[in-house]
Structure 1
């Protein structure tokens, strides 16, 4: 298959905080990927360049062998930078393979187990008036589920006054929408172990769909104490980067929903394996995706073939996307139309998204240097964002 030899790899660092990758083969087939860590785009870009010597000249159809070479070919493995670089490359290779065979990627993964995928998107969570306004907007756009921050910055052990404010936003949503709107609550790793159960006590009466990252993933052993305390499903995994990271968590049985990110956890190849591992432990899948259209399409192809996938995140209208939103670099934004809370099967070959390269190159001229904010507690000490 000399016509499928990889000849060129290009990278586009574009607003709002994304890095796109374009792989071109000898016969002119193009595959797209999103290799990025939010706040470390330039570092991941450098990592992709380091990996090019293992990619250029390879047959693009050798998706699994290239994955194994990029992952295991170096003495040091895993982590956010390498796995995110590998993720974008993997996405692009699946895109090429699907286009070469003229089928959607999910067909290459065994075929779809569903005709549509339930979606949710972000509505903030810091101010009550914003929460209601954004929730109404998302419902009008067709969504039946949203997610928001449960809290702002929290001390290791915080005041009762502050604890009593955490349920106000979800309370407003329940008063407005009743149980017709599913609401996920993201603790964002901001809460330390000593406060989690107390916050759950405040939130439980309002029936959140799930609680996400109640503690940071490096403190997953704390879930041994948190998990038995509540009937609310516990979700985590956006800061875990391979099946080996998820292995112990699944074995412990202290999670209900895993949230690997298709741009951080090894791409389509690895997240499909993680999803299968989770299925064996009766754990649901809800891929993390606050990124762009290629990442979202990659998520959906895994969702379409994973029986335990139950909901998918989208960055449409997220506050990070100021100036450039999910659909702005696409030629066919209609494929992500939300109808009755769901996105239908993607029908195009490969990932099924067509990138407007002219707009992408315009965005590249602007670039970005996005970083998350650094938060401080009232006493001046560092606080988790």
Structure 2
């Protein structure tokens, strides 16, 4: 019987964390445990994972997931679930490669032939978003996501809200569909006003209009506007999502497969969402392994609607792109606003291991900016 023999981690630019699992018989799988700004903490958590999994049967994916989640006594949260996510993806990759099939075949087979995608436009302090939208149209996209607003106060000037609507109108005028991401920057006193301002422009969704720390506040916004409410990148398990489903507050669930326990847990979240008639649209502004995992889950998930893709995202910088560390960039080729279901074995990502090892010699130390208001107070980033 084959056993897990080696688990390695690689902090690679711009802000990714790759996980490589190798069995005693030489089978290799890759996962991504990227937790933006906290990658070193996940590397530390993976030290404990090694103690649990070295010598474990790699075919027992669910057993490994349960062991890592339950036997550490402390459960949940971004760091522990991100560590599990990287391992989980790698084990699915190994198993599917052994069987000579794509991962989605192990999830029940595909329910669609292509996967709709959207790209991100604009900086965290958005400026010429209309030009960015037109550039995405030229790349083959039919939908984008933009940041709704720069940093705002708990109660701020109505001019800030007017600026949100103006920027959204400029992008909509290009003819492209738009999701609008608020990053939890809007607080309860302004949330209804913001939703009312953007409603006539018919965005695809409003993402994190408020933080998910208080589900009751989020639930209070449900039904106030026709704009679909989306949330999930800062929720890490089915237990975190449960109050949002039960309250009817959520229209689109957005777990991140590198944060929320990998393919195994996000598959459960998607099925749970389906029972509440909630759409599934995984969050993924990060690397190629996490994106590939998303595509396989999307291929096999009935309530999936659209996938975020980090092609050309500003975090990557001019020197690095989504496919920099892989040898088959056509895996993410955009055509008519969608990508093909991956048909290669495993996750289908051909990782350039030599390039990964070379880059990891100089690991990243990515941190998000610190934003302050005009009076020096901290603002949500």
TM-score normalized by the length of structure 1: 0.97
Q: Superposed, which structure 2 residues align to 1:246-325 within 5 Å?
A: 246-322=241-317, 323-325=319-321
- Aligned-pair CA distance for 1:229: 0.7
Residue aligned with 1:229, SS: coil
2:103–2:345 contact (8 Å) kept in structure 1: yes
Task: Provide structure 1 residue ranges, at least 5 long, that are not aligned to the other structure.
Answer: none
In the alignment, structure 1 residue 329 sits paired with structure 2 residue 316: no
- Aligned counterpart for 2:344 among listed residues 341, 344, 348: 348
Task: Give the deviation of 1:127 after TM superposition.
Answer: 6.3
User: What is the distance in 2 between the residues matched to 1:163 and 1:66?
Assistant: 47
- CA shift for structure 1 position 268: 0.2
Which of these residues, 229, 232, 250, is aligned with residue 227 of structure 2? Answer: 232
1:182 paired residue among 177, 180, 183 = 177
Aligned residues: 380
Q: Which residue is 2:61 aligned to?
A: 63
Is 1:134 aligned to 2:129, yes or no?
no
Paired with 1:29 and 1:213, the residues of 2 have a C-alpha distance of 40
In the other structure, the counterpart of 1:11 is: 9
Shift of 1:10: 1.0
Match in the other structure for 1:106? 104
> Which string of whole-angstrom CA distances, capped at 9 and with x for unpartnered residues, describes residues 43-99 of structure 1?
100100111011111111010000000000111100000000000000000000000
Query: Is 1:157 aligned to 2:152, yes or no?
Result: no
Give how far 1:22 is off.
0.5
User: Quick one: distance in 2 between partners of 1:285 and 1:361?
Assistant: 34
Q: What is the DSSP-based 3-state SS (H/G/I as helix, E as strand, rest coil) of the residue aligned with 1:166?
A: helix
Per-residue deviation, 1:161: 2.2
Instruction: Report the CA distance between 1:372 and its aligned residue.
Output: 0.7
Q: TM-score, normalised by structure 2?
A: 0.98
8 A Cα contact 1:184 1:210, kept in partner:
yes
* Residue number in structure 1 paired with 2:116: 118
What's the offset of the Cα at 1:118? 0.2
Aligned CA-pair RMSD: 1.1
Q: Unpaired segments of 5 or more residues in structure 2?
A: none
Q: Which residue pairs with 1:148 in the alignment?
A: 146
- Equivalent residue of 1:47, what SS? helix
Please give the alpha-carbon distance, in whole angstroms, between the structure 2 residues aligned to 1:374 and 1:19.
Answer: 22
Distance in 1 of aligned mates of 2:271 and 2:213: 23
Equivalent position SS for 1:61:
coil
CA distance in 2, matches of 1:166, 1:101: 50
Deviation readout 1:325-364 (Å, 9 max, x if unpaired): 2110011111111111111110011101110112112211
CA positional deviation for 1:220: 2.2
Conserved 8 A contact 2:125-2:149: no
1:221 aligns with 2:219: no
Give the Cα separation in 2 of the matches to 1:182 and 1:311: 12
